[in-house]
Structures are given as structure tokens and as C-alpha cells.
């Protein structure tokens, strides 16, 4: 997860040197002590940026979205543990290698499906994607180090890691775009409301990234004709959508279930005042 090891011996050597020589050498040792602290801060910041990039790449490839708070917590946990990895005991390093990625993926996962088997499969896909992206970033870093003959202890490693992370995000976006392009079709959608099922046509639109901030559920957009067919529902809140025609604030309603093909999912519906033509619903990009 973007670990850059800080040698604890250097830190302890500087601190002990400062303590041993006392006031006569205070100016030199204090500068050394501050220098080490700044370097540790750079390591923390670098790990935080790398973990954030890896998380964003994983979500892009999996075509999923999570809340900003959950994403931030995931990155902070990864950065903190990765920074402390260098001074952890041997058994602690083994635990980090085994458990850190699964724990981070628990925070990143938005498991689809009502059955436990579907949720587990969805989590395992996210975990596999996260590990592949991590190794991909590491491969780019060591490849650039070898190509440009850069010492891993130099400050240039920060720029190389950042380059690898941004390349990873770009590749993730390209993969997600190709997956979405192949999924731009109209599918049969079944919306359950109070025990009644409504059969509609849903467009698989990769541009619909709407997600409810509170529940984390995907939000589908209902056409005017679909709203009239379903009838009046209690408004749960509002969602802002950015479209080519401008920003729109649409009311959101709750459904019992939304079934796309054979897959039943939980989702909310945003009510639109326009008809869409050959389809009734615009599906969120994680639902197909």
C-alpha cells in the first residue's frame, strides 16, 4: 500500500545525539531532529497520497462509489499503518501484510445483492482488484527506479511514486470507460413498490454516478412517464445532478427493490420531469 520505510535507527541516533551532548550542541542536534521529523511527515503524506490513488483506481475499475468520509478513513488507515510498518516487530509486519488490504477493502466495498454469497463474491472481487492495483503501482515504481538508476532512499522516490499512482488512476479510468462503453444497452428493469412490480426499460448509463450520501445506495433516474406509472411516493430527500443542460435538484423516493435482469438490488429513485424516449429509467453505473 505504498510503503516507504523510514529507518528508525537514524531517528533514534539523532534523538540520542541531541540528548547526549546537551546544551553545547543544541543548535546542531535540534536541526537534525527537526529534519528527521519533516522527513517522516513527507513519508506520511506520500503514503496517504498513494493509498488514496490506489483506492480511487480500485473504485474506478469496479465502477463503484463510496462516501468521501469512508474514502478518507480508508486512506488514513492505510497511510498510518504503512508508515509504522518500518518500526513494527516482525510478527506485526506479518499481520500488516496479511490483514491491511482485506481491512481497507471492507471500507471500500459496497456489496451488491441481498444474498450472503453475492456480497462475499463482490467483496472478493474488490479485494482482488485492490491487490492487483497495488502490485501494478509497485511494479511501475521499481521499473522507473531501475530505468533511471534512482536510489530508493533519495527524495526522487516521492515523485516516482506519485507518477506511478497517477498512471494507475489513468489506467483504471480507461478500463472503467471501456467496460461502461460495452454496457450501454437498454435492459429490463423491475421496480417493486409496496408489493407491486412495475416493469420498465432501463438505460445502462456510465455517466450516472448518483449516490445517496446518507445510505450509500445508488440512485436511478425515473422519467416522467415512469413516475406517473408508479404513482405518488413519499419524498425522502433531494439529490443534485449535473447534466449537459445544467444542474438539477430532483426529489428522491425509496423502493422495496430494483431488479436489473436477474439481479435484485437496493436503490433509490430520483424523479425527473422529462421523458427519455425509448427507456424509462437511467440506471446508476454500478448496477449493470
pLDDT tens figures, 27-67 = 333 333 333 444 677 778 878 888 888 888 888 888 777 87
Q: Are 79 and 44 in contact (CB under 8 A)?
A: yes
Residue reference for cell 491491511? 100
**What pLDDT, on a 0 to 100 scale, did the predictor assign at position 30?**
36
* pLDDT, greater one: 134 or 164: 134
Across the chain, what does the average pLDDT equal?
Answer: 77
Tell me which DSSP letter residue 256 carries. Answer: S
In what side-by-side order are the strands of the sheet with 281-283? 235-243, 246-254, 268-271, 219-222, 281-283, 196-204, 186-193, 257-260, 263-265
- Reported pTM: 0.54
Nine-digit cell string for 121: 463474491
What is each CA distance from 78 to 49, 102, 152, 165, in whole angstroms?
A: 10, 11, 21, 15
Domain extents for the chain?
Answer: 8-181, 186-283
Tell me the percentage of the chain whose pLDDT exceeds 90: 7
What pLDDT, on the 0 to 100 scale, is given for residue 95? Answer: 92
In this prediction, residues 254-280 reach a mean pLDDT of: 86
Give me the phi and psi of 110, to 5 degrees please. -125, 85
Give the closest residue to 238 by CA, choosing from 219, 257, 225: 219
* Fold designation for 186-283: Cathepsin D, subunit A; domain 1 (2.40.70)
- In terms of Cα–Cα distance, which of 162, 187, 148, 149 is closest to 51? 162
Counting Cβ atoms within 10 Å, is residue 117 exposed (0-12), middle (13-18) or buried (19+)?
exposed
3-state secondary structure of 106: helix
Q: What is the pLDDT of residues 189-231, one digit of tens each?
A: 999 988 888 989 888 876 787 888 777 788 999 988 888 888 8
For residue 16, what pLDDT is reported?
39
**149 phi-psi bin (left φ>0, alpha ψ -120 to 50, beta other):** left
Residue partners of 160: CB distance under 8 A and separation at least 6: 141, 144, 145, 150
Average pLDDT for 75-99: 88
List alpha helices for the chain, DSSP H: 8-21, 26-62, 68-84, 90-108, 116-148, 156-181, 224-230
Amino acid at each position: 500500500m505504498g510503503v516507504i520505510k523510514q529507518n528508525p535507527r537514524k531517528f533514534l541516533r539523532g534523538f540520542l545525539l541531541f540528548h547526549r551532548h546537551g546544551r553545547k550542541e543544541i543548535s546542531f542536534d535540534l536541526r537534525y531532529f527537526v529534519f528527521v521529523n519533516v522527513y517522516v511527515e513527507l513519508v506520511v503524506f506520500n503514503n496517504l497520497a498513494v493509498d488514496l490513488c490506489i483506492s480511487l483506481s480500485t473504485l474506478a475499475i469496479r465502477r463503484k462509489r463510496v462516501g468521501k468520509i469512508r474514502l478518507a478513513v480508508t486512506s488514513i488507515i492505510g497511510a498510518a499503518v504503512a508508515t509504522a510498518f518500518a518500526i513494527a516487530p516482525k510478527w506485526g509486519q506479518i499481520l500488516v501484510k496479511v490483514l491491511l488490504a482485506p481491512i481497507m477493502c471492507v471500507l471500500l466495498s459496497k456489496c451488491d445483492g441481498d444474498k450472503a454469497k453475492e456480497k462475499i463474491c463482490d467483496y472478493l472481487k474488490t479485494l482482488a482488484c485492490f491487490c492487483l492495483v497495488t502490485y501494478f503501482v509497485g511494479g511501475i515504481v521499481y521499473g522507473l527506479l531501475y530505468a533511471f538508476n534512482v536510489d530508493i532512499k533519495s527524495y526522487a522516490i516521492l515523485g516516482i511514486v506519485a507518477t506511478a499512482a497517477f498512471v494507475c488512476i489513468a489506467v483504471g479510468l480507461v478500463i472503467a470507460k471501456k467496460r461502461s462503453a460495452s454496457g450501454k444497452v437498454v435492459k429490463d428493469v423491475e421496480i417493486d413498490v409496496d408489493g407491486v412490480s412495475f416493469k420498465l426499460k432501463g438505460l445502462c448509463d456510465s455517466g450516472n454516478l448518483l449516490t445517496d450520501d446518507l445510505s450509500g445506495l445508488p440512485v436511478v433516474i425515473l422519467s416522467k412517464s415512469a413516475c406517473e406509472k408508479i404513482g405518488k411516493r413519499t419524498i425522502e430527500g433531494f439529490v443534485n445532478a449535473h447534466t449537459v443542460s445544467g444542474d438539477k435538484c430532483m426529489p428522491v423516493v425509496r423502493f422495496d427493490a430494483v431488479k436489473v435482469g436477474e439481479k435484485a438490488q437496493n436503490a433509490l429513485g430520483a424523479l425527473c420531469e422529462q421523458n427519455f424516449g425509448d427507456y424509462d429509467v437511467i440506471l446508476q453505473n454500478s448496477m449493470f
